[in-house]
Amino acid sequence: MKLLSALKLKRIQRHTFFLLSGLLLSGLLLPSAFATTPVSFIAESFNLRYDNPDDGINAWPHRKLMVLTHLKTLQPDVVGMQEVLAHQLDWLDKNLQDYSYFGVGRDDGKRAGEFVPLLYNHTKVQQLDGGNFWLSETPNKAGSIGWLAHLPRVVSWGHFKKADKEFFVFDAHFSHVSDLARKKSAEFLMRYIPTISKDKPVVLLGDFNTLDSEPAYKTLLTPAEITFTDVAKAPNATALSTFNGFGHYDSNRIDYILISGGLSGHHYQTHKIHADGVYISDHFPISVSLTFE
């Protein structure tokens, strides 16, 4: 009896094997049984606005809890900020326990002047590398000013890993006064980014102080050693104004999230957050969910 049972079991196993093989070859079993879950992450660009007491009801002490609530609600994997002073960054670091950051002050490469820091959720992503450079003819010289800009402009970059996927994020803040500086900064990034990122997917985000009709933006969207697309112009996205001037403007999109090949964007959002006359910043943060292709 035991021998008979063993023979029957072998026949059943053989029949099952051939059945599954046939299903695999025909493609009927593959989508449901062997599909892998795509790896995604949320990236955000957020010009925080430096702590300026002259901003009145929109000064930093009146809106910092709004900022904190937004970040804890959205829970982005990586946030590129602009215009952050050292004490603002210290406060965020103290109150965002799941996040780590890196970046330097633009004036001295330490803590003087505005930061463009990268904050990342260390419970979701791993930082593999990172650094800074300046938008000038001498990018490795702290505090250097390039191409008729009035102030130093620094870029922070990070190399991250989520699950088994690696990616880079570059966070930039272009000159607010010089068209030449903005165009030259864009040209420089198109050459310099590939020397760091190699063949890995890239997210380039920040406050570029340029409209999408102007030369700096067009330079960033012109295929070169790296090719970017604007996630706000995807078929399912709506490109809204990002600069609000604390409620005085509503027609200028100057903050961007651009992605290279290997990534696709969805659920792009402009977070128009304000209450009782207080705005989260003079720029609205923007975010997108990105999936590895």
Domain ranges of the chain: 2-33, 39-292
Split at pLDDT 50, 70, 90, the class of 18 is very low
pLDDT at 259: 98
Closest CA to 257 of 244, 239, 245, 235: 239
Split at pLDDT 50, 70, 90, the class of 7 is very low
Q: What is the pTM of this model?
A: 0.89
pLDDT at 250: 85
- Could you give the CA distance from residue 265 to residue 41 in angstroms, rounded to a whole number? 10
pLDDT at 14: 54
What is the arithmetic mean of pLDDT over 242-246?
Answer: 97
pLDDT at 222: 98
pLDDT at 143: 98
- Could you give the CA distance from residue 9 to residue 16 in angstroms, rounded to a whole number? 11
pLDDT at residue 272 tops 90? yes
pLDDT at 36: 80
pLDDT at 4: 37
pLDDT at 13: 52
Question: Average model confidence (pLDDT) for the chain?
Answer: 91
pLDDT in tens, 22-60: 544 444 444 544 568 999 999 999 999 999 999 999 999
Residues in a beta bridge with 159: 129, 168
pLDDT at 39: 97
| 39-292: in CATH 3.20.20.480 | no
Are 117 and 90 a contacting pair, CB within 8 Å?
A: no
Residues with Cβ < 8 Å from 5, sequence gap 6 or more?
none
Closest CA to 284 of 248, 255, 260: 255
> 26 vs 22, 31, 37, 234, CA distance in Å?
6, 11, 22, 34
DSSP 221-248: TS-SSS--EEGGGSTT------B-TTTT
Task: Express as a percent the part of the chain with pLDDT over 90.
Answer: 86
What is the arithmetic mean of pLDDT over 218-222?
Answer: 98
pLDDT at 232: 98
Q: Could you give phi then psi for residue 48, rounded to 5 degrees?
A: -75, -20
pLDDT at 15: 53
Task: Express as a percent the part of the chain with pLDDT over 70.
Answer: 88
